[in-house]
Structure 1
């Protein structure tokens, strides 16, 4: 069951104000699609896979699910104004779809064609935009923010699609998924075209690629950051996880930009691939890297044909040098001038990604989205490199997700923290204590001389308060795992919760400024 937020249904995704109707028979030209009744004259002007979001003139995508079939909601969709239904052979046998005169598009795997049909219904909008897709385990959000900043500095009108937010020409929308479902994504692209957007940096998740959410999208650039363990609740193996990511490089991206630091990136390289590396040879490399005392960094991006671009970023950590270099290569590939790249990247801060919280305290406080073993290790290594005092970490793991990474995250944090506070993240439908126990097992498996103190505080608010109370001048407090998120999901209900706000409140309470 999807989580509820204060008992409200999710709002309908945005759509363009005008769509040219498309004949159902034209949609039936997609390979494998059959239409009944033959010769139908119906036309569609929108598409959705949620019956509650149907608008008059829509194609309703009734997909088979793990527990229910979308075709069970076909009658509701048709009553709301749907003029045709896309489904599989089993769905097509539902009574509502056997009624005379109901146009039904049938495909053995309707999800496989939903992206292409959605793109056709909304006028192939990604072909009218320069979409810059970024995939990988870590760094997608940061890289898309860097891309958007460089594009805006060059005077482009931008959209942004990602985990933290969706933006259209500067206007912010909330994001529900890293990559929206195919009908919502194509409608969003069409709305962006309607509002004059020219370029769209976009996070592309492995789920989106495996489930066809990005199908029907043409990418001006496809970029790869890295791959490490995550989402093995969805992908059975790392090879399957990689294969999903690799779909972005199956010919749908006009230009491919790949970070080759690590074992996975080099497997994507072929003739014409633009490569990026901070450690070896590549099309783009980073030289003269400098780290300032506040964590900001500077380097020279060396590109093809002797291109040299001085880059400064406010973001700490060697991994952010890689993200900035990847963004530089992508921006250069779409014609952004060097000065605009330099100017744009210099001003970027990313919500919940190594985000500093300053309420006047004499220690450093950071919120970070790291929620996988490699990301935890990288974030804490970056913090350790510039910490004058102790490193204090608050960390939990999400429920109903990859269980194998929990002890690994506990181990990674325990090895790098002087004090690790194991707490709850989003337990979802699982027992929070069981999740914490798995993390604690990994943390306490680290030999005592190789790890810091490890304690357990289940309540996340209390855990943050405990970390702040133990901090001394020169220490660094890192609240990791949830980053930008503004809710905590427990037993199917999302409760308001912001790590940033809780961290700041705990600091102010400790300083005597605010009492909660």
Structure 2
């Protein structure tokens, strides 16, 4: 049990009705999960307003209500706390409830459209290799040292974040690496957390179904840096045209990295192949099995962060050179017939273009490049025709298929992708709605040394159709089909 007065530390309270000396068993923003002696937070969300569920929360045992609007009827046995923003209060109280775990380890947050998962995973593996116990909060999985936990969101809710960080502290972790999504920033899921480093990878067309405009999307990312304390370090990629915007109003120490522009941490690609790259970071050369310019940026960011934390650059480069590819991110497999399979999570126009350009820069052009991809249902529709144009322009053959259609008609999604295909490329694609059949067709059409890119789902091991999840792992299915073809 925790004292309510202790949990309210740093919460900006507008009005308090009741007793702050009571004991609290737990906290929740979901009225269905409330039990006796809980605090219930009424959050105004994108789709639901928690203020509509105050009676349900009280009936289930909530003794404290934290809300933005006080109800008309106030009950004598309930403590009501009115705040300006319930989601910010939730983050602060959650941190207090779990004894502020982010103060007890070095927390690093990575934000950007592309590269978050790869960079956080690389950092986790890098610092583990350097001998530290680490935590990872990512799209693919959450890790507390060697323990793997399921991940449901890129950036979890504040209660889950603090639960995980508290577990990390309990397990002796010294570093935690966390993906920071634009949704998470906008919804104040980071409130109450203490970041040592916040880093920006890039920003391109994505999530406009949620943010409505690109300027809103940029503003959401920038908010993360605006809220960093003076004791933190803000790291940005200045090769991205919006990179410096992230640093405009931050109080944190400003650090830059790049492959092209003049920056504090400058990198260079000396040689690029499908099986890896020869890189140079600050005049130190090394070979990496990661491929593609986008991975050079990811590794350079990992190098920058480690260097800013005081590690010897030579030790860091040596450790980076031993890092392996992240599951579902330029994950490769070569069949006995020398057919080259690449599975990647690329699900935005920029990510798809980056990986196709990386493949094209590394191949001989004596082989075909076949791309299999689709677009997810109930996500930003504006990117669909753009991705159709990119895939057909940069591939020898494109097979447009289903991704996670959710409850949209997959054929309608495919038709929206086709709209962006330029006339000169209309003979370079075909459509197969069934994703497994599309992959099988690509494998049958491929000759030895041909490259098949299966894009969009990456690490995912399911396909979401009409509210149901069906087992589907692109790499696993590709390997099975190659064996049986």
Q: TM-score, normalised by structure 2?
A: 0.92
Matched, 1:241 2:222: no
What CA distance in whole angstroms lies between the structure 2 residues aligned with 1:354 and 1:332? 26
* Correspondence for 1:301: 281
Task: Work out whether residues 420 and 452 of structure 1, in 8 Å CA contact, stay in contact via their aligned partners in 2.
Answer: no
What CA distance in whole angstroms lies between the structure 1 residues aligned with 2:484 and 2:417? 29
What CA distance in whole angstroms lies between the structure 2 residues aligned with 1:56 and 1:471? 62
* Correspondence for 2:317: 342
Matched, 1:122 2:137: no
TM superposition shift of 1:194: 1.5
Deviation per CA, 1:286-311: give whole Å up to 9, x if none.
1362224x431121211xxxxx5444
* Correspondence for 1:492: 467
What CA distance in whole angstroms lies between the structure 1 residues aligned with 2:47 and 2:358? 44
* Correspondence for 1:434: 412
Deviation per CA, 1:463-492: give whole Å up to 9, x if none.
111111111111100110011111111122
Structure 1 residues 453 and 272: CA distance shift in structure 2, 3 A: same
Task: Work out whether residues 289 and 299 of structure 1, in 8 Å CA contact, stay in contact via their aligned partners in 2.
Answer: yes
* Correspondence for 1:262: 240
TM superposition shift of 1:76: 5.0
Secondary structure class of the residue paired with 1:374: helix
Deviation per CA, 1:57-81: give whole Å up to 9, x if none.
4322232345543345445545655
What CA distance in whole angstroms lies between the structure 2 residues aligned with 1:150 and 1:309? 17
* Correspondence for 1:131: 107
User: Which of the numbers 290, 295, 298 marks the counterpart of 1:320?
Assistant: 295
What CA distance in whole angstroms lies between the structure 2 residues aligned with 1:324 and 1:216? 29
TM superposition shift of 1:451: 6.6
What CA distance in whole angstroms lies between the structure 2 residues aligned with 1:26 and 1:107? 14
Task: Work out whether residues 20 and 79 of structure 2, in 8 Å CA contact, stay in contact via their aligned partners in 1.
Answer: yes
Structure 2 alignment gaps of length 5 or more: none
Task: Work out whether residues 49 and 183 of structure 1, in 8 Å CA contact, stay in contact via their aligned partners in 2.
Answer: no
TM superposition shift of 1:342: 2.5
RMSD (Å), alpha carbons: 2.2
* Correspondence for 1:396: 374
Query: Is the deviation greater in 212-221 or in 117-126?
Result: 117-126
TM superposition shift of 1:224: 0.5
TM superposition shift of 1:335: 2.2
Deviation per CA, 1:74-124: give whole Å up to 9, x if none.
45545655442322316x34x7xx433122322243123221222122222
Structure 1 residues 452 and 195: CA distance shift in structure 2, 3 A: farther
Secondary structure class of the residue paired with 1:133: strand
Matched, 1:465 2:446: no
Q: TM-score, normalised by structure 1?
A: 0.87
User: Which of the numbers 10, 16, 23 marks the counterpart of 1:43?
Assistant: 23
TM superposition shift of 1:360: 2.8
Secondary structure class of the residue paired with 1:357: strand
TM superposition shift of 1:374: 0.8
TM superposition shift of 1:500: 1.7
Structure 1 residues 48 and 335: CA distance shift in structure 2, 3 A: farther
Secondary structure class of the residue paired with 2:196: strand
Task: Work out whether residues 153 and 343 of structure 1, in 8 Å CA contact, stay in contact via their aligned partners in 2.
Answer: no
Matched, 1:159 2:138: no
What CA distance in whole angstroms lies between the structure 1 residues aligned with 2:214 and 2:260? 24
* Correspondence for 2:484: 509
Task: Work out whether residues 6 and 96 of structure 2, in 8 Å CA contact, stay in contact via their aligned partners in 1.
Answer: no
* Correspondence for 1:275: 256
* Correspondence for 2:38: 58
What CA distance in whole angstroms lies between the structure 2 residues aligned with 1:121 and 1:249? 25
Matched, 1:286 2:258: no
* Correspondence for 1:13: none
Structure 1 residues 81 and 337: CA distance shift in structure 2, 3 A: farther
Structure 1 residues 82 and 289: CA distance shift in structure 2, 3 A: farther
What CA distance in whole angstroms lies between the structure 2 residues aligned with 1:207 and 1:396? 23
Secondary structure class of the residue paired with 1:86: strand
Pairing 1:28-107 to 2, within 5 Å after superposition? 30-37=11-18, 39-54=19-34, 57-74=37-54, 77-78=57-58, 81-89=61-69, 92-93=71-72, 98-107=74-83
Pairing 1:79-228 to 2, within 5 Å after superposition? 81-89=61-69, 92-93=71-72, 98-228=74-204
Secondary structure class of the residue paired with 1:504: helix
Structure 1 residues 434 and 395: CA distance shift in structure 2, 3 A: same
What CA distance in whole angstroms lies between the structure 2 residues aligned with 1:378 and 1:157? 33
